[in-house]
Structure 1
């Protein structure tokens, strides 16, 4: 129970915690684990009331929410589904996006520096709270032991979540478990197995201390809280990728925990009847959502930023969406789907990428509808393509134009300098690469709704970090890997049914409930459809042994060192020789 400020409305709490807590002000240097990283006055004078305790517990959560931006860039730009092509005079940025897509990052680029720093800052913030609460009693602040144990467990789960991200991105990282006594922290990297074991033991230890969701109607007053199911779902993530992390398969463990979640051992959850319910403005009422960071207009809503979902639409989209009064600034054309066609209109035959073509393998998919706000906080469709019509402020019909206002947009599933070329016409050359795109290059998308100024749901969606389909798909993968194709298909179909009209289930669902064929190649495609642009594509490719393969505008990697990222020289320098560069990269 944390029913005070946080569970009452964590959305509003986020806004003032960032400035209210002096305990966070000394954490900016926490990548150097040899330093004394705290202000002596921090915890001695801070904890006076029940509200003080709750605010302290929450502070690392706000940082964790903010930090997902760096993960989104690393896990999507380096993978096969999303791209940032040059848009004529925009979006070259010194070749950054091309380097990421082609796996040509260097130690001097610093592409992964923000992920490393962000995660360790969060870990040290969590360590501070964990140690502070260990030395305080529940009764002093008016908590029951159950309430206080839940509070203490929250940051232990959050810390484990940060460590999973570090294990995923870098493998070889330090283990920091104390804020006050840095002698307890490793002096340099530890082997991945030690990080893995720490994550596993922490999650197992705290699950009994966490709240268990026992009723339907979404997370509601426990939104933003790590619950038993949330911690168990992190174990599912850890076990599913164990072979990648430590070279040891743990699919049986993954299957066991995933099945327990589905059986209700850790709480009551169920699939929504539409694909977008878990991302909608009122997703705190959605029983599919296992863990989400609360977001709200006027407060924290970090997923509505440029590095995530604010810049996955045309640059002049505010004229169409009528969302000009918010404080997010203009939209931009950062993210598009990787192309299925060359500029001559000829379809590629890559095994990887081509996400729009993968959606179109099942053409009645409701997500293929062009995105549209229907009014009254409702929307339809996932993608933006073709010409985009709207009515201007004078009531005149218009079409969106490119960022320079030179031509009418006509988005297509290809990358090239199309300019004012009509969408039913193509170019003479098949040459296509990240450097020769424009505003028409690639379908765009709206994962979280972009409602208008007139709708109360604008920017109200919580950021859904874990939802039930992840558990279902993980279990299905475990079963498919051991040869139980029928059981895997049934699990996947339980989710996929909502994406197709029932009249098409015979062709859209996997055998034996339909005629579609399920194998490992198709499972990877299905992971890509269900979790499109959700910041996980890179690890899925790695787990399926496809991350090093070729796809559009990316040759096969020469070796496997790009499976993990390098440490920026500033990170190595701050460690005073205790941190070694990851294999395959120059110091």
Structure 2
């Protein structure tokens, strides 16, 4: 770690110095915090650096491992596109190996996040904050935000890999992995310490990326919520208590947003339910990693914006090529059809101007805002594009073609087309007229709804189905006109599958699905579209080959 991090620091120093032309500089044989930090601005710049890493970490490979391995999203091969050497199929079918790139990117990114936060913490601990017109409370806040961030990275790493090398300085080298329990205990200790000293959110405070007391409490609740998967010890009672306290405002002032879109809209920094968000702004730290992969090459015409896409990701299908629903075949998956037809979110996404929008899916005929037809460029070249909630080579059906009818059309990962699958628009996209709003929505990393659903699941596991329903239904109601939910959760219809369905509806595309399936012991045991049960060891990812080749003290996970 010391060697790797040293290279990172030296590279950064070289980049910074390469643009300098001033010659009358003072050189030191050793840079110390006392010589480097000159103002409060320097302190905050250092504090923000590991948070920018967290912004990157919440997307891309980490999201991929959570969603493409589970029952909601897929990247099908679309004719000549997206086979990618079989990578997408390996994740979907649970056949990944220690050589796969998303796994290496996640292992490396996790430990880099820890190292960046530790390096900043080490510097700030040495500073006398009074010299910068700051207080001890400011210092405690900064240090415990970093403790919380370190715990966040370790928590995610524990979820993906199990035990990790636990280090509290950057002096070690070629460290072995700690046990699952040791890693769990380290996370727990960091968060308990942080909760004691972090400030609470007050009424009216905006969310601007700071980690407050409720964020640390939520991460601790999440650790306990999934403890059975992590250390083979159910800790739902501990999770329940924390969730109750958060909802009782013990850790700060939060409340459920009145609208379904409030936590995701352009002004979601004002949403009362955001507990921790990662700020985003056009041409700055943009929350946009998903944009290219999620949308068709010509979807920029649908959004009425500039810029292209590469047409990879989509929801797994709810319907067979014949149009029949898959719900009779398996209990998981079919994400689009899990939404009621009356659900306001199920409408096709449409930007209404002035920061307003409706719906969150691209489905059906692809049209410009003025109603003009958008054509395809591959299977449907010069033909109208219509996005379908199905997977199959429909362009190859008919007289003299490959398939005589849709009745014999296969539906699997290798059989996609350019219009395959419903597309999710959870982060609103404005048109060119409102370009200044683009990527104005922050990434809602933690929101109060998560607390309500965790508590609901804890109550369900205790047998209190009515209590669980009372927590879920207020969230559901805001997605229906006048709150008229046609299918509310009740004590009679709530079971583990309905609970997973509710997690899937509310948190679709928010990078948590694999973890939810594992907690209910369904990730490797259940069937969904084009996916059969896999071996138990796939509940964890392997230690990447590149990590072991650089550190022979690392032990591989069982089964790999």
TM-score normalised per structure 2 = 0.90
Structure 2 CA distance for aligned equivalents of residues 173 and 444 of structure 1? 35
Structure 2 CA distance for aligned equivalents of residues 96 and 357 of structure 1? 27
Whether the 8 Å contact between 1:476 and 1:492 is mirrored in structure 2 is yes
Aligned match of 2:521: 545
CA deviation string 1:14-35 (max 9, x = no partner): xxxxxxx9688389xxxxxxxx
Aligned match of 2:438: 458
Relative to 1, partners in 2 of residues 1:288 and 1:508: Cα closer, same or farther, differing over 3 Å?
same
Structure 2 CA distance for aligned equivalents of residues 406 and 42 of structure 1? 63
Aligned match of 1:8: none
Whether the 8 Å contact between 1:292 and 1:463 is mirrored in structure 2 is yes
By how many angstroms is 1:401 displaced? 2.3
Q: Secondary structure at the match of 1:434?
A: coil
Say if 2:169 is the partner of 1:178: yes
By how many angstroms is 1:563 displaced? 0.6
Say if 2:175 is the partner of 1:187: yes
Whether the 8 Å contact between 2:390 and 2:421 is mirrored in structure 1 is yes
What is the aligned counterpart of 2:75 among 51, 76, 84? 84
CA deviation string 1:234-258 (max 9, x = no partner): 1111111000000001101100001
By how many angstroms is 1:182 displaced? 2.1
What is the aligned counterpart of 2:288 among 298, 304, 320? 304
CA deviation string 1:237-287 (max 9, x = no partner): 111100000000110110000111000011111111111111111111111
Structure 1 CA distance for aligned equivalents of residues 483 and 445 of structure 2? 32
Relative to 1, partners in 2 of residues 1:120 and 1:252: Cα closer, same or farther, differing over 3 Å?
same
Relative to 1, partners in 2 of residues 1:212 and 1:23: Cα closer, same or farther, differing over 3 Å?
farther
By how many angstroms is 1:379 displaced? 0.8
By how many angstroms is 1:296 displaced? 0.4
Relative to 1, partners in 2 of residues 1:571 and 1:42: Cα closer, same or farther, differing over 3 Å?
farther
CA deviation string 1:505-525 (max 9, x = no partner): 3x322226xxx7211110011
By how many angstroms is 1:501 displaced? 2.8
Structure 2 CA distance for aligned equivalents of residues 250 and 472 of structure 1? 17
What is the aligned counterpart of 1:314 among 289, 292, 296? 296
Aligned match of 1:433: 412
By how many angstroms is 1:172 displaced? 2.5
What is the aligned counterpart of 2:252 among 248, 251, 267? 267
Between 1:450-459 and 1:239-248, the stretch displaced more is 450-459
Say if 2:513 is the partner of 1:508: no
By how many angstroms is 1:396 displaced? 8.2
Relative to 1, partners in 2 of residues 1:208 and 1:172: Cα closer, same or farther, differing over 3 Å?
closer
CA deviation string 1:300-341 (max 9, x = no partner): 11x312xx24432222111121221xxxx4123221111111
Aligned match of 2:558: 583
Whether the 8 Å contact between 1:315 and 1:403 is mirrored in structure 2 is no
Whether the 8 Å contact between 1:169 and 1:565 is mirrored in structure 2 is yes
Structure 1 CA distance for aligned equivalents of residues 454 and 377 of structure 2? 41
Structure 1 CA distance for aligned equivalents of residues 371 and 71 of structure 2? 40
Structure 2 CA distance for aligned equivalents of residues 418 and 521 of structure 1? 32
CA deviation string 1:99-120 (max 9, x = no partner): 1111100122233110110111
By how many angstroms is 1:226 displaced? 0.0
By how many angstroms is 1:88 displaced? 1.1
Q: Secondary structure at the match of 2:64?
A: helix
Aligned match of 2:50: 60
Query: Which consecutive unaligned segments of at least 5 residues does structure 1 have?
Result: 1-20, 28-38
Q: Secondary structure at the match of 2:276?
A: strand
Whether the 8 Å contact between 1:23 and 1:43 is mirrored in structure 2 is no
Q: Secondary structure at the match of 1:465?
A: strand
Whether the 8 Å contact between 2:393 and 2:409 is mirrored in structure 1 is no
Whether the 8 Å contact between 1:173 and 1:192 is mirrored in structure 2 is yes
Q: Secondary structure at the match of 1:311?
A: helix
What is the aligned counterpart of 1:224 among 192, 202, 209? 209
Aligned match of 1:555: 532
Structure 2 CA distance for aligned equivalents of residues 486 and 541 of structure 1? 23
Aligned match of 1:33: none
C-alpha RMSD over aligned residues: 2.3
TM-score normalised per structure 1 = 0.86
By how many angstroms is 1:66 displaced? 0.9
Whether the 8 Å contact between 2:163 and 2:181 is mirrored in structure 1 is no
Q: Secondary structure at the match of 2:444?
A: strand
Relative to 1, partners in 2 of residues 1:84 and 1:436: Cα closer, same or farther, differing over 3 Å?
same
Relative to 1, partners in 2 of residues 1:204 and 1:23: Cα closer, same or farther, differing over 3 Å?
farther
Aligned match of 2:31: 41
Whether the 8 Å contact between 1:372 and 1:379 is mirrored in structure 2 is yes
Q: Secondary structure at the match of 1:182?
A: coil
Aligned match of 2:421: 442
Say if 2:189 is the partner of 1:201: yes
Structure 1 CA distance for aligned equivalents of residues 88 and 502 of structure 2? 25
CA deviation string 1:366-392 (max 9, x = no partner): 11111111111111001111102116x
Aligned match of 2:454: 474
Relative to 1, partners in 2 of residues 1:583 and 1:141: Cα closer, same or farther, differing over 3 Å?
same
Structure 2 CA distance for aligned equivalents of residues 243 and 26 of structure 1? 44
Q: Secondary structure at the match of 1:379?
A: strand
Query: Which consecutive unaligned segments of at least 5 residues does structure 2 have?
Result: 1-7, 15-28, 399-403
Q: Secondary structure at the match of 1:112?
A: helix
Aligned match of 1:342: 320
What is the aligned counterpart of 2:146 among 148, 155, 167? 155
Aligned match of 1:31: none
Aligned match of 1:114: 105
By how many angstroms is 1:40 displaced? 5.2
Relative to 1, partners in 2 of residues 1:159 and 1:386: Cα closer, same or farther, differing over 3 Å?
same
Structure 1 CA distance for aligned equivalents of residues 180 and 199 of structure 2? 30
Alignment of 1:8-19 (within 5 A): none
Alignment of 1:234-383 (within 5 A): 234-301=219-286, 303-305=287-289, 308-324=290-306, 329-348=307-326, 349-359=329-339, 362-383=340-361
